[in-house]
Structure formats: C-alpha cells, structure tokens
Amino acid sequence: MGVLPFRLTAVGLCVTVLAHGNTAGVAVFLFGMKTLGRSLKEAFGDSLRIVLAKFCRNRFSAFVSGAVATAILSSSTAASVLVVSFVEAGHMSFQAALGVCLGVNVGSTLTAHLVAFKVTK
C-alpha cells in the first residue's frame, strides 16, 4: 500500500471535479462560438454582412439595433453571443460590435424596467 503525498478528502475531490467541469464547460462554449461563426459565414456569406452594415453604419444605429435585438430575443446573453459570432465570422466590425453590445445591455435594463412598472389602473 503506497503513501499518497496528499490527503484525499471530500472537499479536495469536489474542488477537482468543479475545476474539470468548469474547464470542460468553457471548452464547449468556445467550440460552439467557433462553430456558430463558421456556420454563419457558410450559410449567409456576404448577404448577412450587407444587412449588418446597414443596421450598424454608425454608433447610434448600432446601439439602437442592439436594444431592439434584446427586446426581440428577450435575452441579452443570446444577443451578445450572436454579436461575438458575427465579429468572429468577419461580418461586423469591432466598433459596431461595441455599440451593439452597449445597446444590448441598455435594452435588457429597459425591458426589466418596463416589466416592473405598474401598467394597470
């Protein structure tokens, strides 16, 4: 029977399992982002780039587009993931993505405020 250089406890085992689980989760997320970007590039080509350029021609229109996208999707996370995929695929510039992400965050805040307001008499 060998001697272990450390003591195997339940806490140590839980930390190890959590670390491996988090690492695997990040790896799957990054793989999904890469796959989504590649798929968007193959499926839409230049037509998506033209539409995104139309909606994000300046910072203000990019901001409004992000707010509207959040209102439609009801998820700021989904909108942000799509924006990152568009940038990775080369369909959107980094400056436009910053405007859209700001709009996404403000749009989700406004959506939450609208839900919280009392609209009945």
The size of the chain, in residues, is 121
User: SS3 for 7?
Assistant: coil
Q: In this structure, is residue 3 part of a structural domain?
A: no
pLDDT at 12 over 70: no
Over residues 30-79, the pLDDT tens digits come to: 888 788 878 877 888 788 888 888 888 898 999 999 998 888 888 888 88
Single pTM value for the model: 0.69
**Residue (of 53, 45, 51, 44) closest to 96 by Cα position:** 53
Q: In this structure, is residue 63 part of a structural domain?
A: yes
**Residue (of 81, 84, 109) closest to 97 by Cα position:** 84
- Which amino acid, 95? Q
The dihedrals phi and psi of 13, each to the nearest 5 degrees, come to -70, -40
Q: In this structure, is residue 5 part of a structural domain?
A: no
Over residues 76-97, the pLDDT tens digits come to: 888 888 888 888 888 889 999 9
Q: In this structure, is residue 42 part of a structural domain?
A: yes
Query: Could you list the residue range(s) of the whole structural domain that residue 57 is in?
Result: 10-116
Count: domains in the chain: 1
Q: In this structure, is residue 25 part of a structural domain?
A: yes
Question: How many whole angstroms separate alpha carbon 97 and alpha carbon 114?
Answer: 25
**105, 62 in Cβ contact below 8 A?**
no
